[in-house]
Amino acid sequence: MSAALVMDRIVASFWTTAALVSAASLAAIAIAVRFFGLGPVGATALYFVIWWTVLFVTLPIGVRSQHETGEVVRGSEPGAPSMPNLRFKAILTTLLAGATLIASAWILPLAGL
């Protein structure tokens, strides 16, 4: 089974997406706590900030406006996205934020945070 097909199946269900995002988030926080000496609260707070920052980076990826696609929904803004793919972006954000948390805990002296 190809990676694209697996990703399509995951993002098709809200609960599967939520489970994957939760599991990956907890795994990244657990790695930061276990191997890099961060406290659970500090690691969670740092992850939260990183996650939201990365979300704003991933939101514009692949977005086309309703005007660009020619499918403007009556009563909506023509500049609104036609297919925002938010579930895929939540997974992408989670994976990038987890990698960023682990890399920053590894590179920076954050022990005791």
Tokens encoding 10: 């995951």
Closest CA to 100 of 25, 40, 19: 25
Tokens encoding 52: 């939201």
pLDDT score of 91 = 95
What is the Cα–Cα distance from 89 to 86, expressed in whole angstroms? Answer: 5
Tokens encoding 44: 């969670």
Q: What is this structure's pTM?
A: 0.86
pLDDT score of 54 = 98
pLDDT score of 45 = 96
| pLDDT per residue as tens, the chain (113 positions) | 788 788 888 888 999 999 999 999 999 999 999 999 899 999 999 999 999 999 999 999 988 888 888 888 888 888 888 888 899 999 999 999 999 999 999 998 876 66
pLDDT score of 111 = 64
pLDDT score of 28 = 97
pLDDT score of 20 = 94
Q: How many CB atoms lie within 10 A of CB 52?
A: 11
